[in-house]
Structure 1
């Protein structure tokens, strides 16, 4: 059928060209040739037309005979590429994992946290669900406010244990924003959509009058780290964010694909990737002080990617390494809250830092994991606001022997407390998605 259709198209094209050529010759040729009878012109046109059709049909037949297989293979590859392009979202976003995540969303009331359930609308008209966990009294207006971006699975109810530590131990207000297509939010998830969601969350906080809008901290975990980086690197938001915190995030989708599937994915041109999230490039435009929190037992996102982001960052930066931390339980490190508090205290203590300056010797935190047997007593260094801001080479050590055991996190992005584990089992942490 395709061959017949192609022949008909050629016939129509040649017929039109023949009529145009005959008309041109009648007008252009002088003298007696112009006075030839119309029957002669008709015979000329007929012969020219049918001979042209014969040549065209022969050309199509020979091309299909010689190169038809290559042509079919090309169209097959094109079809496969289109299917792969369309299913990339299915590989990256998991709003239905675990089951019923679109239906059951735990509220902060389950953790006895005071909150507001907010419905906000993005620039393109998509309705988003959010929980604003806020302090009471005067602390609401003075405490930093964390804009929290979650990972690629579950919903904001699954991040309540993380938010509870930020609220209770770090004394922060927390806005848990639920992406489009997740939980009770409307819409379909995409990279461009997540960018608009992030801007809508920031605009919501900036419009509030009951918080200090000069103390907005953007925190992203895994996929949320890429969303947070993209938000903080945009020119319109660089001066509106006090600090950036990235936990177990990646450098780009192409790099993650290369790690999980094949190295050739990293060499694909950008137009073949439906989602890019190139944090390695965006992090260079960050102006706010940044804290990078990396679990060294992360079996989803290679910890080396966090070091790459850290090295690429050009603002005032800090690094907190958790040797026993997996992809989903790094925030359960005993001194996680202490590091967050010290970092925020140092940021608030900075006196009008130059956002374009590059710190040659940025501060690094290190978390020393515990062991079964008691460790030799080591002094614990407390970082005051002044010492951290003034001495970029200080190292944050933990007296690990006195710390409790880690807790197990079962599902991707789900921070539910399980049984206490001995230190020898700290690596047996079930993880799945980025």
Structure 2
């Protein structure tokens, strides 16, 4: 969905989960935009849906970089008006980009610590060959971060969300949703209200930052 021509609104860049394309998610994204009074820019990774190319870690990063470049250069948006929303594997490009470019904020829904940690219960140092090293990059993100995770997540255990939360530089109160799993998290009645509140928290954060400067 193209962002509306309203530069006063935030634009939410949505990075989807693995094994899906955006077709079935249109109603969810539309509701997200309405509830949060924000533009929503959703895209598909290389090799997903109608997108060409091949899925890879490198392309995952290149895809979101291209999206934000389009918003900044073609739509003349400020990065401080862009919120990154990464779901599951979508947390990977979101954290990667926000670790090097200061955004308005980042929302992580059922995020992962790293690729290997999704397969093994491993708490040591991150190996150099471990893909998707979110746990090493998240402390470099210089904007508010909201983490939402279900207590019954059967794909990415909630321990991933908790560990990432502990390493955030600017965390807000997370939302640990009791009884929700990987696919039902967004259906919880707390989901949209918490994101709405986060937008207010973003506004307050950046106002305070301006005062400090």
Considering the TM-score relative to the shorter chain, is it more than 0.5? Answer: yes
Q: Which residue of 1 aligns with 2:114?
A: 252
Q: Distance in 2 between matches of 1:296 and 1:333?
A: 12
Q: Is the 1:145–1:175 Cα contact (8 Å) retained in structure 2?
A: yes
Corresponding position: 1:215 with 2:81: yes
Q: CA deviation at 1:203?
A: 0.7
- CA root-mean-square deviation: 2.3
Higher Rg of the two aligned structures: 1
| Distance verdict in 2 for CA 1:250–1:320, change over 3 Å | same
Q: Which residue of 2 aligns with 1:332?
A: 187
1:309-320 paired onto structure 2 within 5 Å: 309-320=164-175
TM-score under structure 1 normalisation?
0.45
Give the number of equivalent residue pairs. 209
Give the gaps of 5 or more residues in structure 2: none
Q: Distance in 2 between matches of 1:269 and 1:141?
A: 42
| Distance verdict in 2 for CA 1:304–1:213, change over 3 Å | closer
Q: Among 134, 143, 147, which residue is 1:292 paired with? A: 147
Corresponding position: 1:167 with 2:22: no
Q: Among 144, 166, 178, which residue is 2:44 paired with? A: 178
Q: CA deviation at 1:340?
A: 0.9
Q: CA deviation at 1:209?
A: 3.8
Q: Among 35, 59, 73, which residue is 1:193 paired with? A: 59
Structure 2 SS opposite 1:141? coil
Q: CA deviation at 1:313?
A: 1.0
TM-score under structure 2 normalisation?
0.89
| Distance verdict in 2 for CA 1:200–1:268, change over 3 Å | closer
Identify the structure with bigger relative contact order (alpha carbons < 8 Å, sequence gap 6+).
2
Q: Is the 1:148–1:218 Cα contact (8 Å) retained in structure 2?
A: yes
1:46-61 paired onto structure 2 within 5 Å: none
| Distance verdict in 2 for CA 1:300–1:141, change over 3 Å | same
Q: Distance in 2 between matches of 1:253 and 1:178?
A: 20
Q: Distance in 1 between matches of 2:180 and 2:62?
A: 31
Give the gaps of 5 or more residues in structure 1: 1-130, 355-434
